[in-house]
Amino acid sequence: MKRAVVGWESTSPIPDRSLNRYLNARNGRLFYEDLDLAALFEEKGRSLKLGREIHSPLEIVYLPMIRRQIHNMRDIFSQAIEDVGYAGQFRYAYASKANAAEEVIRTTLKAGAQHEISSLMDIEILRVMQERGILDPQTMILCNGFKPPNSSYADKIVQFKREHDPVIPVIEDIPELKPLIESRLHFEVGLRQKSYGLHRDLSEMDSANSRFGMNVDDIFKAAEIAQSSPNIHLKLYHAMVGSQIVDIDNFVDRLRPPIEIFAQLRQKYPELSVFDFGGGVPVAMTLDFECDYLAFAVNLLSTIKEICDKYRVQVPDVIGEFGRYTVTEHGAHLFKIISVKDNTSKYPWYIIDGSIMSSFPDSWALGEHFTVLPLNHLDRPFHRVQLGGLTCDSDDIYPPHKSKSPLFLPVDAEDLYIGFFGIGAYQEMLGGAGGSKHCVIPEADELIIERDQDGKYQFDLIAGQGPRAVLGNLGYRPRGKQR
């Protein structure tokens, strides 16, 4: 397997150049587009007068990137629809599980993305957005996740349907239809196929060991039950086949068997008009990433067309639920190197002022790679190092244990800042927002960055955790207020 390029891989300084679509080296400093990141901790940061001083560690949230991702993918599919002569439409949905922060949901909804949810609390978030006038009444809400009869999630879906019509429950299992039927509300529903991975034929798909979705038999039974219930209308077929699938031919090959089932179903139920390929669209977390999204869209639409022609059914509209793709690159986490320790380990340790494992759980849990670059001293010599977090945990390191990827940082570590990039999806949700974390290390401040129509920056600094919050979470109350 190819090894991930997680940063600069040389002892020479980084010359002025672009490192990826949004990170640029200039005069020994790193810019996120044209924002000098180290300057946030220097005089420039102080001059922003954000009510409190900006200091590390600091989480960066760059909202224009989210909009850009959504617009780019829509443009790509418009182009593919034209290239293929595809008779259906494309809809972009944001998969909220990737990052449910207020500023993210606000941004995706305002950009006109449809919305995919997976649990009860997602509906509470949508209620807030509705009250604030941000949820467009036409926005489709695709309700994935387990919602058996009498569960709070099933009840909430039925309630929310009364307030927001385009709520589309995606059925995971046949009993989930019952509360919808009993509600007597007019529901359009989706059916979720069990289809995670690459399957040569339908029988392989059926024997896959996955708790998501229904096997082929149950999909047909669910369709029959839906069809015979006067208030239920089949709308969508859902098949998610993996995550971060970089090989686009393999991605579409994985989708082939579900597309066959879709076409067979559509022969029987022509109102089944949407094919939802779920998530899985890859995005850059490291510097070696390449993906031809247009080739993916063209290949996907051509395959759907070919299979629908074979079954003589109309091609469907297509929805993708983009989690990682939407929010990976808008997030970065900046740290200061507070100590360099050479204890004759393989490489010197650069210790950061935070925790790698609680900020980016996938790095230790899955050995996932993210991009790490210095914010200053780029014009000085580099050497190979390893990063260590502040916890006492042997896994709180980067690159992760089994990684083959070298990490180079400037030899001069005086006032050195570094950034982890490509961390906006899942990391905060897995590590938890708020709460108290490993070795009681508090959560960083967060800087939300917007740009107005003239490109002028707007900053909003959100305080991280102070001692009171951390201790309060653990049950330490001020004197007289003990439990």
Question: What are the residues binding ligand PLP (CB under 6 A)?
Answer: 95, 97-98, 116, 144, 240, 243, 278-281, 321-325
CB 346 within 8 A of CB 49: no
Identify which of residues 245 and 413 has a Cβ nearer to ligand PLP in the complex: 245
**Min separation Cβ 108 and ligand PLP, Å:** 13
Identify which of residues 284 and 390 has a Cβ nearer to ligand PLP in the complex: 284
**Min separation Cβ 466 and ligand PLP, Å:** 32
Residue 53's SS3 state is coil
Under the phi-then-psi rule, with left for phi > 0, alpha for psi from -120 to 50, and beta for the rest, what region is 180?
Answer: alpha
Identify which of residues 279 and 389 has a Cβ nearer to ligand PLP in the complex: 279
Q: How far apart are CA 34 and CA 13, in angstroms?
A: 20
Identify which of residues 323 and 410 has a Cβ nearer to ligand PLP in the complex: 323
**Min separation Cβ 324 and ligand PLP, Å:** 3
DSSP state of 214: B
> What residue number has its CB nearest to ligand PLP?
279
Identify the burial level of 37 via C-beta atoms within 10 angstroms of its C-beta, where 0-12 means exposed, 13-18 middle and 19 or more buried: buried
Identify which of residues 429 and 439 has a Cβ nearer to ligand PLP in the complex: 429
**CA 118-124-130 angle, 5° bins:** 110
Identify which of residues 45 and 280 has a Cβ nearer to ligand PLP in the complex: 280
Alpha carbon separation from 186 to 17, 126, 179, 223, 325 (Å, rounded)? 56, 20, 12, 16, 33
Closest CA to 77 of 86, 90, 87, 95: 90
**Buried b or exposed e, range 364-397, using 16+ CB within 10 angstroms:** beeebbbbbbbbbbbeeebeebbbbbbbebeebb
**Min separation Cβ 143 and ligand PLP, Å:** 10
Q: Residue 16: phi, psi to the nearest 5?
A: -65, 120
Identify which of residues 278 and 361 has a Cβ nearer to ligand PLP in the complex: 278
**Min separation Cβ 28 and ligand PLP, Å:** 35
CB 51 within 8 A of CB 36: no
Given the DSSP bridges, would you call strands 23-26 and 90-95 parallel, antiparallel or unpaired? Answer: unpaired
Radius of gyration of the chain (CA): 24
Identify which of residues 103 and 321 has a Cβ nearer to ligand PLP in the complex: 321
**Min separation Cβ 214 and ligand PLP, Å:** 14
Which residue type is seen at 136? D
**Min separation Cβ 233 and ligand PLP, Å:** 21
Identify which of residues 144 and 358 has a Cβ nearer to ligand PLP in the complex: 144
Closest CA to 15 of 378, 375, 406, 409: 378
**Min separation Cβ 206 and ligand PLP, Å:** 19
**Min separation Cβ 109 and ligand PLP, Å:** 17
